[in-house]
Structure formats: C-alpha cells, structure tokens
Structure 1
C-alpha cells in the first residue's frame, strides 16, 4: 500500500508539472499575441488559438487530475450541520449519483469526441478529437476519484475535507 501511495504522489506531481507547462505555454502565446498585435501591428491567429487550447486543457486537466477534492468549491451549509452518520451517507449518495451520471455520459462523450475527428482548428490544424480528448481524460479521472470516495465513505474512512468520518460530531 505504501508503494501505491508513493506512486500516486509521483503521478500527481507529474500532472502538476504538465499543468505548469500548459500555463507557461498559454502565457507565452498570450505575450506573443500582444507583442505582434500592438508592437508590430501584425495580428497572429495561431497565438490566440493556442491560448484557447491551453485554457481548455488546463481547466479540464487541472479539475480532473490536479485539484484535490478538499479544494473544490462547495456549498456545505447542510454538510456542516449534519452529524457523522448523515455526512457519511450524504457522501455515499453524492458519490454514487456522480458515478452514475458521469458513467452514463461516457459513451455519448466518446461518440462526440471521436466524431470530431472530421474537423481541424483554423490555424494550428489540430484535429478536434485530439483537442477534446482532454474531456475524456477528465471524465475517467473523475470516475476514479468518485469511485474511491464512494468506497471510502462506505468504509467510514476520511472524507474529502481531510476529516475522518468517525471523528465528526
């Protein structure tokens, strides 16, 4: 189990490295776009397109693989007022519902992504199926995350906020 935890930490750090690379690429493309447009009076479409592609990938990559569960934005008024058993079952129900919804959307998402192979972006000529593949990565990552949370809640293990379900009031 210790080896698995170590591997998970290493993979998480690599996912963060990829996100940093995407952010750096997006920033560089933005600077190139501004410089060419306002200093050289020569607008370049590829820089704008690259910025948009990096933004799309960064948001979905980060939400699926980098952002820890405890740092997601939530409205937890009901969660905070609930007792230990209620929180545990709310986590089971929420994780189960999200597993069902994301799982049910997986085939349709795959059909759409694979269908988009017929088009390419205007400037960089990236096939849209390659561009939207990050959504499939996001879906699979979220399915794994909520499967893990579902099992942990059933076992009474730590919840996303870092608290142990057993220690709650």
Structure 2
C-alpha cells in the first residue's frame, strides 16, 4: 500500500470515528429531549455526554480529517500572490504555528495530567481523559505544520484558492 493510499485509508477511518461520535451525540440528544419533554424527567448526564462528545468531535476532526486546503486563510491576499509568495506565507505560518503549539504543549500536558484530580459532575469522567484530546490535537497540528513548512521549502507551493472548488470542510 503506497503512503498516499495509506493516508487516505486512515482519513476514512478517522471519518468513521467522527460519524460514530456524531451518532452517539445525536442519540444522547434525543434521549435528553424525550426525557425532558415527553417524560417530564430532566436528566443531566445527557448534557454532559453531549458536551464531551462535541469537544472530542471538533478536536479529533481538526486533527485527522480537515485537510490543509480546507483551513481558513486570508483568501483575498493568498489568491492574489504568486507561487513564491504563497510558499513564503505557508512557511511563515507553519513556523509560527509549530512554535506556538510546541511552546504551549508542555503547559497543556501539565494541565491535562493535573486534571486527573477532577471529575465531571454526573458521570465522574476524569478531566484528564476528557481533555487528553487536546494533546492529540496539538501534536497533530505540530506534525501537520512541520510537513507544510517542509513542502513549502522543498516541495510545491500550496494551491491558490479557487472559490469554484470550495467545500464545506466536512
């Protein structure tokens, strides 16, 4: 299996995980609605699970599913410059993001590991487990932007923004 096919396969599996997270969030949301408005028995754990699933869905998706071309940019500036300028902009952005996430990673790791002493109100989920997805997110963005910086120097320039090919990012 070539490395491109492997990454495509891994991305599809990450999409599968995201679908399962979204499905679980929808089911819990429906339980909450039925419990509150049909049975007149509000329950708190459904809200807690919905929030946890949402946090994981967003950060997991940003880590493993959203492509670089789907990230937000200043498209008016980016599309109006040539290939060399796009390379320079990609490199500068990559260096800044890698530096910021790398500098913040030790403090984030300390905070996440410290939060093992706290638990969620209803289900008693340890906060270090809940927030661990941020560490995965930060490491994934560091690796992604190291790759973007590398390819901006030694590979091809990022494509200019084409509004006719824009997608929702999902």
With structure 2 as the length reference, what TM-score do the two structures score? 0.90
1:147 paired to 2:146: yes
Question: More relative contact order in 1 or in 2 (CA 8 Å, sep 6+)?
Answer: 2
Q: Distance between the aligned counterparts of 2:82 and 2:15, measured in 1?
A: 35
Once the two structures are superposed, residues 32-82 of structure 1 have per-residue CA deviations (whole angstroms, 9 ceiling, x without a partner) of 000000000001111111001011111111111111111122222221221
Equivalent residues, number: 162
Q: Give the alignment of 1:17-166 within 5 angstroms.
A: 17-159=16-158
Superposed displacement of residue 29, structure 1: 0.4
Q: Secondary structure at the match of 1:44?
A: coil
Superposed displacement of residue 162, structure 1: 8.3
Superposed displacement of residue 5, structure 1: 1.8
Q: Secondary structure at the match of 1:120?
A: coil
Q: Distance between the aligned counterparts of 2:161 and 2:147, measured in 1?
A: 14
Q: Secondary structure at the match of 1:59?
A: helix
Q: Secondary structure at the match of 1:74?
A: coil
| Paired position in structure 2 for 1:166 | none
Unpaired segments ≥5 residues, structure 1: 164-169
**Structure 1 runs, 4 residues or longer, greater than 3 Å off:** 160-163
CA RMSD in angstroms, aligned pairs only: 1.6
Alignment check: 8 A CA contact 2:78 2:161 kept: no
Q: Distance between the aligned counterparts of 1:5 and 1:84, measured in 2?
A: 24
